[in-house]
Amino acid sequence: MKSPATEAPAEPGPPPIKTRRFSVSLVWLVPLVAVLVGLSLVIHSKLQEGPTITLNFKTGSGLVANKTEVKYRSVVIGHVSAVALSDDQRSVNATVQLDKQAEGFTREDSQFWVVRPRIGAGGVSGIDTLLSGDYIGADIGQAEGRAKRFKGLENPPPITYGEPGKRFTLHTQDLGSLDIGSPVYYRKIPVGQVVAYALDADGKGVNIEVFIHAPNDAYVTDNTRFWNASGIDVNVGANGVAIKTESLSTLLVGGIAFRAPEYSPNDSAAAEARTYELFDDQQTALAPPSGKAQYLTLRFDQAMRGLKVGAPVEFLGIEIGRVVSVNLDFDEVQRSFPINVGIVVYAQRLGQAHKKMLKALKHDPDDMTATAQVFSSFVANGLRAQARNGNLLTGQLYIALDFFPKAPKVAFDLNARPIAIPTLPGSLEILQEQLQAMLEKINKLPVERIAGNLDGNLVELRKGLMQFNSRTLPGVQSTLADVSKTLQSASATLAEDSPQREKLSETLDELGRMSRSLRDLSDYLGRNPEALIRGRPSNAPPIDLQGPPRN
């Protein structure tokens, strides 16, 4: 048995490995959780964040960064994050942060405008902003394309939120008192409004776009007529004064009315975007169709004061057109200033006569050469144009086309365009010429010599009357007295009941009346010797030639 001292030493091995246990303190859990929550919020915010767009306005009125909201149907869909001047410093750029759900407002045809209190043709709007402040209104578009920059509207669009209805275009000579928002009436009920206007391509008229709300847009048909209902229509006729207006608002902001004629067979609803003519008044709009216009020119050698553009043109008393121009010209040969008058006539307004004329003459209205030949035949038969007085109070003139068979013949130019119709002086000018000729004849009369001769004749007449009163009349009266005495003596010798005595009494009465009449005549001529020339005046008291009544 081996002792411990003699035991062999143990072989060395790898050193033992000491392990240390790692532990995390609970203090670090709080900021870790906070970081994780923050990251989740940032990620969620980025995921829910909508697009950013830029709106360009002329001014920054009502726009405040981080305060001004963007609303659609009174629901907030975004806010203004920044407001700054544009690069050219002529406008203002507003950066708008939209909500995620408002991503559809990035369509190219979306519209944005600043909502503030306004008073316009469409009425009062934006009153709620007096308390809440201005905000940006929005209307979503329908286009497929997307955009980041938009031009802000200076005024709210009249039609928003995709309201159902139809748009129509009206053509007129000028805008008048109409404006965006002006109402459109159907049978005096507002059914639409003016949404836009612009000059036409050649700048000779105005195109007005109107919107008619559904379901009233079905009342706009193929035969519908539109007219300007602005202001007051006053008509003075045999039945008195008639005043017409659509509503009080049309007096202030203008308006348009429309209706189809009462007799409109096979009428149907009009398609959207159809173009109509805008007439000046209801009477013109609902009148029968005028047909093709024919322009004519007239040349007058006398003054045309009172003739205005728009004056009527009549043919045999029927209005068939109007005056479109009145221009002063210069004649180099005669050194005079004639007046050129342009008129437009509508032959179709002649009705049945126009149809019969086309059939009898086999005339094509579109053939200008044939039209000139027709007018040539009319002129050969005495067709002339004349300016006549249409109103004695205002002195306004109108053009009358009439036949004057005794008018002097004139040459007609078949190649003139527009066709020229010869003219005659107006009735007023003819009357003035006649009065002038009469005055000239009166001025040529020897008035002083005639007056001297009349004075001499009156003196001689007075002398003759004096001689008649002093010599002739007393002798006649004496003779009548002697005859009366002789008759009285004869009457005394006759029996009372004899017929001869009754006749003598009547003769005596006649002689008495004759004597008194001669006496009265002498007295009257003595006071009025001129009565022998001028006669007895109508207001002179009657002369009693019968004498007092017999008992």
pLDDT tens digits for range 126-181: 666 666 788 999 999 888 899 999 999 988 888 877 789 999 999 999 988 888 88
Judgement on whether residues 144 and 90 belong to the same structural domain of the protein: yes
3-state secondary structure at position 509 = helix
Would you state the structure tokens that stand for residue 157, as one six-digit string?
Answer: 């669009």
Would you state the structure tokens that stand for residue 99, as one six-digit string?
Answer: 């909500």
Judgement on whether residues 426 and 302 belong to the same structural domain of the protein: yes
Judgement on whether residues 478 and 407 belong to the same structural domain of the protein: no
Between CA 191 and CA 171 the distance in angstroms is 19
Length of the chain: 551
Burial degree of 513 (CB within 10 A; 0-12, 13-18, 19+): middle
Any idea which residue has 């469409």 for tokens? 122
Residue-wise pLDDT tens digits, 310-366: 899 999 888 889 999 999 999 888 888 999 999 999 888 887 888 888 888 887 777
With beta carbons less than 8 A apart as the criterion, state whether 113 and 137 touch: yes
Asked whether residue 499 is assigned to any structural domain, the reply reads yes
Beta bridge partners of 356: none
Between CA 498 and CA 174 the distance in angstroms is 105
Q: Of 239, 256, 285, which residue constitutes the final position of a domain?
A: 285
Q: Of 374, 406, 438, which residue constitutes the final position of a domain?
A: 438
Judgement on whether residues 250 and 324 belong to the same structural domain of the protein: no
Judgement on whether residues 242 and 373 belong to the same structural domain of the protein: no
Asked whether residue 256 is assigned to any structural domain, the reply reads yes
Judgement on whether residues 418 and 462 belong to the same structural domain of the protein: no
Grade residue 549 by pLDDT with cuts at 50, 70 and 90.
very low
Between CA 469 and CA 107 the distance in angstroms is 121
Judgement on whether residues 142 and 183 belong to the same structural domain of the protein: no
Judgement on whether residues 507 and 469 belong to the same structural domain of the protein: yes
Q: What residue numbers bound the domain in which 304 lies?
A: 293-438
Between CA 246 and CA 258 the distance in angstroms is 11
Judgement on whether residues 425 and 487 belong to the same structural domain of the protein: no
Would you state the structure tokens that stand for residue 63, as one six-digit string?
Answer: 């726009």
With beta carbons less than 8 A apart as the criterion, state whether 524 and 531 touch: yes
Residue-wise pLDDT tens digits, 175-197: 888 888 889 999 989 999 999 89
Judgement on whether residues 311 and 272 belong to the same structural domain of the protein: no
Asked whether residue 28 is assigned to any structural domain, the reply reads no
Computed over every residue of the chain, the mean pLDDT equals 79
pLDDT higher than 90, residue 457 = no
Judgement on whether residues 384 and 406 belong to the same structural domain of the protein: yes
Mean pLDDT score, 50-59: 92
Would you state the structure tokens that stand for residue 217, as one six-digit string?
Answer: 């847009």
Q: Of 392, 421, 438, which residue constitutes the final position of a domain?
A: 438
Between CA 113 and CA 152 the distance in angstroms is 5
Between CA 104 and CA 138 the distance in angstroms is 11
pLDDT higher than 80, residue 426 = no
Judgement on whether residues 297 and 433 belong to the same structural domain of the protein: yes
Asked whether residue 13 is assigned to any structural domain, the reply reads no
What is the chain's Cα-based Rg?
53
Give the chain's domain count: 4
pLDDT higher than 60, residue 30 = yes
- Residue at 400: amino acid letter: A
Residue-wise pLDDT tens digits, 287-304: 877 778 889 999 998 888
Asked whether residue 547 is assigned to any structural domain, the reply reads no
Asked whether residue 495 is assigned to any structural domain, the reply reads yes
Q: What's the confidence (pLDDT) of residue 149?
A: 94
